[in-house]
Amino acid sequence: MIDSKTVKKIPLIVASNGKTGSRVAERFRASGLDFREGSRNSDIPFDWYDSSTWQKALDGISSVYVVFYPDLAVPGAREIIADFTHIAEICGVDHLVMLTGRGEEEAQACEQIVMSSPMDWTIVRASWFAQNFSENFFLDDILRGQVIVPFDDFTEPFVDADDIADVVFAALNDEKHRGQVYEVTGPDLLSFRETIREIGEVSNREIGFQQVPMDDYVQFLNEAEVPQEFVGLLKYLFTEVLDGRNAYLADGVKRALGREPRSFHSYAAATVETGIWN
């Protein structure tokens, strides 16, 4: 084990090739600040499901951006987070910045594990990502021109992943964010039907929208050969989280950054320029 006293301590960005982790890493690179990437393919590999990788990845690390893949709701996540928090403390980490989801019982249980540790912490509790329409989940449906969901009678304050990354970057670089719970959302409540209409308008495409019973939705996912772990996760999210319980705005972005969060319209207008919906 490397002697942490002789090493300049830097942050570890877990899931550094993921939706928010990659954006946090980009901000460190742009600022010329050192950090360590944390993924299975990193120079020093990190794997949530292989605890033998944790200690080496944490050597010389001062803080960690904790992003659990695929979701804190999956079976066994709570135990893994507890073990990781213990190892991080032993390795001399003094600050954990943890991404969690709003309205998720399992996520909040994992928050308590981190908050009960001797280390400093910052919780970034996020609503449904706007980027789920362009980087996974609904992208294939949008490209084929027909989005299918098992619901459409509630609204969600979709948050831009770039806002999350800005909050995390700030938390990792300024001690004033320690001990804070930032519940981050977008500035507007929108239904999924409204988001698809917005994407259709900015991309100048006809995109159908269909609501189906949950059993039919699961059948649709199975026919599309979606891996079973994600079928189970989507079923959980669409029945236990995306049920209207999060249909309210929060001020986490403004409290952390002193500005308003980006709107879904701004996200869609910027995303269409990338050509991802063509």
Sort 179 into a burial class: Cβ within 10 Å, 0-12 / 13-18 / 19+. exposed
Q: Each residue's pLDDT tens digit in the chain (278 positions)?
A: 434 444 458 999 999 999 999 999 999 999 999 999 999 999 999 999 999 999 999 999 999 999 999 899 888 999 999 999 999 999 999 999 999 999 888 999 999 999 999 999 999 999 999 999 999 889 999 999 999 988 767 899 999 999 999 999 999 999 999 999 999 999 999 999 999 999 999 999 999 999 999 999 999 889 888 888 888 888 888 887 788 889 999 999 999 999 999 999 999 999 999 999 99
Cβ neighbours, 10 Å, residue 216: 13
Could you tell me if 257 and 167 are in contact, meaning their C-beta atoms sit under 8 angstroms apart?
yes
CA 253 to chain centroid, in Å, comes to 15
pTM of the shown model:
0.93
Domain 4-272 fold is Rossmann fold (3.40.50)
State residue 8's pLDDT score: 56
Domain ranges of the chain: 4-272
State residue 264's pLDDT score: 98
